[in-house]
Structure 1
């Protein structure tokens, strides 16, 4: 269904379909991912050979998943939500990693008056489409340790809620295994 080739137009169309609409944030993630892979000299990952780190939880992350093949489920997409339009892309084979950061002000709306939101987004998107990679992004090679490949952990039953939880996420309370949700001081199973 998704990304069986590396044709940029096909990948953009798939990113739009995956995300649900075409917005400036999705375009930023798409362009960052294409640029990152091009600089690394690699194509879309089929397994865990690439790693992507997103410093935002916004729209662009959806495009990064489609373009790079890095996903949360495979463990090669990491989310570090620092509220920045910054994406890092790395090769496991040699540890090389590139950081692609949106230049401050690149998405700034021009003085467009009281335009409807969809028109404002369209204009911002068109401006982003017209920008060169150098105008849009600050790109640099970085020395960041790549995370280890995903591991499968044993499931342990939480002594408080009874649900299964990954062993690596279990904490002990009074000598009994508890999930992180139950371990937290503000935990309640009641929804009000």
Structure 2
């Protein structure tokens, strides 16, 4: 799949066209290229995304997830919620890692755009005219890499990776299917955390 196809698929995955998801695609592609690895089909890669909560740049995370294959569903990405458009990609077998940051180079243009003015006024992204959506998509997609990305040097991440625990079984109390690693022992019974009364 070429990069333009990746962008289109990432925007479909995300659900609307916005600059931050495109920034995530650009950052994810740069991180993969710097490490010389392909998209993670399993959990061979691990990502740390620095977006926070309740801010307009969180769309960045979807661009990262689609592009790198590091997803919350697979458990091979985590948030370090400091509100930055930055991402660290780690190859688990070698602990080689790289951190890539989306810079502030385009922020004045982004903030002044019709799309962002309408978003600030509370208009949902999919109700904004397509040409105004695409103005920002193209702005971020077409910008030279050296202008919008700060790509760090490869370094060794101090990873200590736990093996994936496979399997589920019903909780002996409520009967709900529970991942083995989340069962707790209560006498002779294996119960889920809510039924156990224990904290996580």
Q: TM-score, normalising length from structure 1? A: 0.70
Does residue 69 (structure 1) correspond to residue 69 (structure 2)? The answer is yes
Task: Report the 3-state secondary structure (helix = DSSP H, G, I; strand = E; otherwise coil) of the residue aligned with 2:29.
Answer: helix
* Structure 2, unaligned runs of 5 or more: 53-57, 120-127
Query: Residue 25 of structure 1 aligns to a residue in which SS?
Result: helix
Q: Number of residue pairs matched?
A: 180
Unpaired segments ≥5 residues, structure 1? 187-192
TM-aligned CA deviation for residue 97 of structure 1: 0.6
CA distance in 2, matches of 1:122, 1:181: 46
Counterparts of 1:24 and 1:63, CA distance in 2: 10
Map 1:105-144 to 2 at 5 A: 106-107=106-107, 109-111=110-112, 115-117=117-119, 118=128, 123-140=135-152, 141-144=154-157
Q: What is the aligned counterpart of 2:19 among 20, 24, 43?
A: 24
TM-score by length of 2: 0.68
- Aligned partner of 2:91 in structure 1 is 91
The structure that is helix-richer by fraction is 2
Two-structure CA RMSD over aligned residues (Å): 3.5
Q: Do the aligned partners of 1:173 and 1:183 also contact (CA within 8 Å) in 2? A: yes
Change (3 A) 1:115 1:46: closer
Could you say which structure has the greater relative contact order, defined with CA pairs below 8 angstroms and 6 or more residues apart?
Answer: 2
The 5-angstrom pairing of residues 1-192 of structure 1 reads 5=1, 7-56=2-51, 58-75=58-75, 77-82=76-81, 83-103=83-103, 106-107=106-107, 109-111=110-112, 115-117=117-119, 118=128, 123-140=135-152, 141-146=154-159, 148=161, 151-172=164-185, 177-182=190-195
CA displacement at 1:89 relative to structure 2: 1.2
139-148 or 31-40, larger mean C-alpha shift: 139-148
